[in-house]
């Protein structure tokens, strides 16, 4: 810890509430901070802070020109356009979103999940042996997914998910993050009509998704984000989760595996996360009231992707306040890399607000990078 | 059973009354008119005329089928939350977010103190009720759901936003009752989403219904009912309108363990499928329901609002429901 950080830490420990209150409640907090600490710097170099999209981005917006995909779906359903033309429109939108992320100042891009019908059926639809059934609510959102039905014959996919990754790599100048729904959450969201019990289904899905991880890695993706929202809500099967990540992790090649939790309190998981063989952990602060305090006390469990901006509300956080919080959180952590992102994918926000959150993410990372 | 309450309100219904959840699809001429109105190509009066026309058509259709409790079909509403948010001061229109697949809705933002703007649905209810001697349901979205399906930038937490909404929905209920409405449905599809917040929903619904003289229904769908059952029976309503067929009637197992103690409107067709369930399938679903529920307590309808189907699909689904109910009734 450098001299500056030591002074901040010392002051913070003595008068933590005063500093935080001042920073959080005074609109001139930044100015005040440098008055209190003439040498105050937000930077926590040499730690690398990267702004990134969590995963998804709204595929349509308010303007007519932002509704291309919506019209394309309708045209496809009415057979006015063919699959090739539809996919061309999707390709265009993925490119557009890559460009949006680059312009917004992200250091790492995703495909925005533009092609995903939903979190479950998109993955299951590319794997062998799944049927796709009726709609179910996606956790506590007002967004619905088609429930996959898993039978005994489920197996390796058609390579479509890796092709999507390859498309992003071809079209992005920045490092790429691919996204997969994790085996635990997929098993939870499926209707299990196989002869396997839940644990067996998780293992089988980990093997199957391991192939996808391998394919994505072989295409050259930099990060693979394994999303486990179901686990964060009911974190009772820790050993099972660990095993599934272990199975997939063996196939990751040079890619870094990010195990991401959202829509649930991550705080109780923190102490045990180092047992899981992931390269990075994605944490949702909005559902985890004690998380900041926990991380300040014990440090981060490893490289982290911090979902500190609320991906479910239009209210815009103040970049400086978030930067102060992050600096406190990261002060005691001896990690090389930290991603700053939203608590969940951005598709739960209207596009204009999602874009502002994305810009805010970059602003926060920019402050921290000095 | 709450047939006594209905009786006191002057309503006699047959066994297995048929109804709809609320919304019907807008006919193509109305969809076009709404687009034209947005572009300023037609006047508000012209749009209103066409909304009236479509309402009359749906009322006539429900009458012709022999349905028992009718709805106005919500031809004048774009979305069950956005409609109210557009009227209630304190809301900002927000923007489009995805519901599923290629379906989007406007999710509003609470930006300021919410206030009751005066009757929001009463005129439409009166217009629909004038067209029939059968009871027409008053249709409102519940406070918890409006809160949950909005962004909140004003109230300190979800509970306070819910209570603020409950107070103004209560006023709308009072206006509906004053106009003569006796069956009022408060849609709370979000209530099953966060089991830990069931108490908030209960408290809010209590504000809405307490001391108000009507038969109250709440519609809940697409959530983890099993996580809030049987506690959800504490919600202060007489009838729960539940989506059942989409989940293969799996709630019946729970009813076997903990008896359903209120009236139920039992969803028997999937509203997100183009497939028209045949009469035999619907009949078998009703018969399965009656193994676990007393016949006096059961109403029948689709799983949810039909607005996402075409007019033809919706009519076919409702037709088959009515035929299936008539067949089951004949055997009771």
| Confidence class for position A85, pLDDT limits 50, 70, 90 | very high
DSSP track, A200-213: HHHHHHHHHHHHHH
Q: What tens digit of pLDDT does each residue of B234-288 get? A: 999 999 999 999 888 888 999 999 999 999 999 999 998 899 999 999 999 999 9
pLDDT at position A233: 84
When CB atoms are compared, the residue of A74, A117, A144 closest to B222 is: A144
Query: Please, where are the H alpha helices in chain A?
Result: 3-25, 29-36, 68-77, 83-104, 121-126, 160-171, 183-189, 198-219, 229-233, 238-249, 291-298, 319-330, 351-368
Q: Which of B15, B50, B24, B21 lies closest to B296, judged by CA?
A: B15
Q: What tens digit of pLDDT does each residue of B110-122 get? A: 999 999 999 999 9
pLDDT at position A44: 65
| Confidence class for position A94, pLDDT limits 50, 70, 90 | very high
Task: Count chain A–chain B contacts defined by CB atoms under 8 A.
Answer: 80
d(CA B222, CA B244): 9
Check whether the bond before A126 is cis (ω within 30° of 0): no
d(CA B110, CA B108): 7
pLDDT at position A208: 98
- What's the mean per-residue pLDDT of chain B? 96
Mean of pLDDT values over B200-220:
97
Q: Is the dihedral of CA B72, B75, B81, B84 positive or negative?
A: negative
- Structural domains present in chain A: 1-41 (no CATH), 46-368 (3.20.20.210)
d(CA B94, CA B90): 12
pLDDT at position A10: 56
pLDDT at position A82 over 80: yes
Long-range contacts of A316-321 (CB under 8 A, 24+ apart): A316/A353, A316/A356, A316/A357, A316/A360, A317/A360, A318/A29, A319/A360, A319/A363, A319/A364, A319/A367, A320/A23, A320/A29, A320/A30, A320/A42, A320/A367, A321/A23, A321/A24, A321/A29
pLDDT at position A23: 46
Are the beta carbons of B100 and A134 separated by less than 8 Å?
A: no
| Confidence class for position A40, pLDDT limits 50, 70, 90 | low
pLDDT at position B14: 97
As assigned by CATH, the class of the B3-25+58-82+111-330 domain is alpha beta
Nearest CA distance, A335 vs chain B (angstrom) = 35
Nearest CA distance, B224 vs chain A (angstrom) = 8
pLDDT at position A283: 98
C-alpha distances out from residue A106 to A51, A99, A171, A314, Å: 5, 10, 15, 20
Check whether the bond before A46 is cis (ω within 30° of 0): yes
Q: How far apart are the first and last CA of chain A?
A: 16
* Residue linked to tokens 């349905």: B67
pLDDT at position A45: 62
d(CA B258, CA B242): 16
Q: What tens digit of pLDDT does each residue of A269-306 get? A: 999 999 999 999 999 999 999 999 999 999 999 999 99
Q: Are strands A256-260 and A280-284 parallel, antiparallel or unpaired?
A: parallel
User: Where do the domains of chain B lie?
Assistant: 3-25+58-82+111-330
ipTM: 0.86
Interface of B with A (CB under 8 A): 94-102, 104-105, 107, 109, 148-149, 151-153, 190, 193-194, 222-224, 246-247, 270, 272-273
Chain B neighbours among A 46-85 (CB < 8 Å)? 58-62, 69-70, 73-74, 77
pLDDT at position A47: 79
| Percent residues over pLDDT 90 in chain A | 81
d(CA A52, CA A45): 18
Give the distance from CA A304 to its chain's centroid: 11
| Confidence class for position B1, pLDDT limits 50, 70, 90 | low
Out of A24-33, B9-18, B44-53, B116-125, least confident range: A24-33
Nearest CA distance, A46 vs chain B (angstrom) = 36
pLDDT at position A14 over 70: no
Tell me if residue A96 falls in helix, strand or coil. Answer: helix
d(CA A234, CA B298): 35
d(CA B261, CA B255): 9
Q: What tens digit of pLDDT does each residue of B26-84 get? A: 999 999 999 999 999 999 999 999 999 999 999 999 999 999 999 999 999 999 999 99
Contacts of A347 in chain B (CB under 8 A): 97-98
């Amino acid at each position: 810890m450098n001299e500056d950080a030591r002074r901040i830490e010392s002051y913070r420990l003595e008068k933590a509430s005063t500093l935080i209150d001042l920073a959080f409640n005074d609109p001139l907090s930044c100015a005040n901070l440098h008055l209190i600490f003439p040498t105050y710097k937000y930077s926590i170099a040499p730690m690398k802070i990267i702004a990134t999209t969590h995963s998804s981005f709204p595929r349509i917006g308010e303007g007519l020109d932002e509704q291309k995909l919506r019209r394309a779906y309708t045209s496809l359903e009415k057979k006015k356009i063919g699959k090739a033309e539809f996919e061309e429109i999707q390709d265009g939108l993925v490119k557009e979103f890559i460009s949006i992320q680059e312009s917004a100042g992200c250091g790492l891009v995703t495909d925005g999940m533009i092609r995903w019908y939903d979190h479950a059926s998109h993955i299951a639809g590319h794997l062998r042996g799944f049927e796709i059934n009726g709609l179910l609510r996606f956790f506590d959102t007002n967004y619905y997914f088609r429930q996959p039905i898993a039978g005994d014959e489920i197996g390796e996919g058609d390579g479509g998910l890796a092709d999507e990754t390859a498309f992003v790599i071809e079209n992005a100048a920045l490092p790429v993050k691919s996204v997969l729904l994790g085996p635990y959450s997929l098993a939870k969201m499926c209707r299990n009509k196989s002869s396997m019990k839940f644990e067996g289904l998780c293992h089988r899905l980990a093997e199957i998704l391991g192939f996808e991880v391998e394919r994505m890695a072989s295409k050259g993706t930099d990060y693979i984000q394994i999303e486990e929202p179901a686990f964060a809500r009911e974190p009772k099967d820790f050993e099972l989760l660990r095993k599934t990540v272990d199975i997939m992790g063996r196939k990751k090649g040079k890619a870094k595996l990010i195990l991401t939790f959202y829509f649930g309190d991550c705080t109780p998981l923190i102490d045990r996360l180092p047992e899981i063989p992931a390269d990075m952990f994605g944490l949702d602060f909005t559902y985890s009231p004690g998380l900041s305090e926990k991380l300040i006390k014990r440090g981060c469990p490893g490289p982290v992707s911090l979902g500190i901006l609320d991906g479910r509300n239009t209210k815009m956080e103040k970049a400086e306040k978030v930067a102060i919080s992050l600096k406190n959180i990261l002060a005691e952590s001896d990690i090389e890399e930290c991603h700053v992102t939203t608590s969940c994918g951005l598709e739960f926000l209207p596009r204009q607000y999602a874009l502002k959150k994305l810009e805010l993410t970059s602003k926060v990372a920019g402050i921290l990078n000095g | 059973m709450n047939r006594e309450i209905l009786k006191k309100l002057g309503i006699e219904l047959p066994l297995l009354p048929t109804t709809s959840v609320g919304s019907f699809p807008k006919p193509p001429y109305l969809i076009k008119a709404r687009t034209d109105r947005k572009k300023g190509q037609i006047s508000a009066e012209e749009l209103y005329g066409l909304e009236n026309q479509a309402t009359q058509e749906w009322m006539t259709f429900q009458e012709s089928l022999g349905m028992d409790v009718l709805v106005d079909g919500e031809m004048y509403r774009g979305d069950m939350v956005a409609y109210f948010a557009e009227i209630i001061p304190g809301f900002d229109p927000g923007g489009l977010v995805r519901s599923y697949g290629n379906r989007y809705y406007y999710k509003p933002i609470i930006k300021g103190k919410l206030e009751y703007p005066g009757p929001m649905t009463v005129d439409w209810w009166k217009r629909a009720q004038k067209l029939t001697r059968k009871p027409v349901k008053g249709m409102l979205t519940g406070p918890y759901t409006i809160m949950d399906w909005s962004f909140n930038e004003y109230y300190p937490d979800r509970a306070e936003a819910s209570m603020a909404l409950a107070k103004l929905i209560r006023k709308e209920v009072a206006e509906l009752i004053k106009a003569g409405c006796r069956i009022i449905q408060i849609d709370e599809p979000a209530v099953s989403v966060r089991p830990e917040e069931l108490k908030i929903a209960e408290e809010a619904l209590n504000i809405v219904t307490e001391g108000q003289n009507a038969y109250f229904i709440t519609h809940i769908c697409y959530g983890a009912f099993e996580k809030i059952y049987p506690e959800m029976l504490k919600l202060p309503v007489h009838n729960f309108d539940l989506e059942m067929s989409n989940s293969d009637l799996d709630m019946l197992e729970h009813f076997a363990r903990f008896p359903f103690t209120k009236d139920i409107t039992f969803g028997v067709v999937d509203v997100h499928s183009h497939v028209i369930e045949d009469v035999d399938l619907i009949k078998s679903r009703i018969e399965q329901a009656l193994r676990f529920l007393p016949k006096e307590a059961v109403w029948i309808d689709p799983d949810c609002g039909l607005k996402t189907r075409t007019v033809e699909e919706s009519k076919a689904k409702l037709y088959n429901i009515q035929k299936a109910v008539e067949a089951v009734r004949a055997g009771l």
